[in-house]
């Protein structure tokens, strides 16, 4: 089964009215370039097509007028998560940009969720703020509700659990939970970016 094609078709068939994002589009193409560059250098977990499949990937780079990178380290798509479609729909239902852009970004973000490190690092971004800007622009109604600055992968899973009526925290509030430092602490990846160089001696921190 072609999961990449199905991801896109799944979201394409489930449209709803757009929200509104207060942020401009000027930076989104730069973040996409960063993720593509990192994938071609073998950083993070993203495949060369960012999980979109060849057809939608080429449509995206044409849309954002991004010159494709000709050579790179080919990798397989990360293993599909059991929560894959739920996360896709959660993001897409809170989109604040045009449908097609939201489908692309939702698929990219959920593909990154399959990685073992912090989401921004697995996506190949340089730091958390870049991921925050992306989510606030593309999925503003959802991302803007992260008022306590929870780690993004934790936040997305928590929102999905709440949406499906499941309990993620064993405590009545996050501040009382023993896992609070894991959900809200600083995000240092097991490998950090340094102007294009990977550092492998940084300690691994749970996500």
pLDDT digits (tens, 9 = 90+) for 89-144: 999 999 999 999 999 999 999 999 998 889 999 999 999 999 999 999 999 999 99
Q: What is the pLDDT of residue 81?
A: 83
Rounded mean pLDDT, 31-40: 94
pLDDT in tens, 43-83: 999 999 999 999 999 999 999 999 877 666 667 667 888 88
| Window from 4-13, 28-37, 75-84, 103-112 with minimum mean pLDDT | 4-13
- Side-chain half-sphere exposure of 129, counting CA atoms within 13 A: 1
pLDDT in tens, 129-185: 999 999 999 999 999 999 988 999 989 998 998 888 876 554 444 555 555 566 666
Return the bridge partners of 198, or none.
193
Alpha carbons 19 and 36: distance in angstroms, whole number: 27
Alpha carbons 191 and 118: distance in angstroms, whole number: 10
Stated pTM of the model: 0.74
Q: What is the 3-state secondary structure (H, E, C) of 91-130?
A: HHHCCCCCHHHHHHHHHHHHHHCCCCCCHHHHCCCCCHHH
What is the sign, positive or negative, of the torsion defined by CA atoms of 51, 52, 55, 60? negative
To the nearest 10 degrees (0 to 180), the angle between helices 84-93 and 3-12 is: 30
């Amino acid at each position: 089964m072609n999961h990449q094609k199905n991801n896109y078709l799944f979201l394409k068939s489930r449209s709803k009215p757009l929200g509104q994002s207060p942020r401009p589009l000027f930076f989104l193409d730069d973040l996409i370039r960063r993720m593509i560059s990192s994938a071609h250098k073998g950083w993070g977990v993203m495949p060369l097509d960012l999980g979109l499949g060849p057809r939608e990937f080429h449509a995206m780079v044409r849309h954002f007028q991004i010159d494709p990178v000709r050579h790179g380290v080919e990798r397989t798509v990360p293993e599909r998560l059991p929560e894959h479609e739920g996360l896709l729909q959660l993001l897409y239902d809170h989109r604040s940009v045009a449908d097609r852009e939201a489908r692309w970004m939702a698929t990219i973000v959920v593909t990154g969720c399959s990685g073992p490190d912090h989401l921004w690092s697995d996506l190949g971004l340089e730091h958390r703020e870049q991921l925050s800007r992306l989510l606030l622009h593309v999925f503003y109604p959802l991302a803007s509700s992260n008022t306590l600055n929870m780690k993004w992968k934790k936040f997305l899973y928590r929102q999905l659990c709440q949406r499906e009526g499941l309990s993620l925290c064993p405590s009545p509030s996050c501040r009382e939970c023993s896992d609070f430092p894991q959900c809200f602490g600083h995000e240092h990846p097991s490998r950090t970016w340094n102007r294009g160089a990977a550092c492998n001696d940084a300690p691994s921190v749970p996500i």
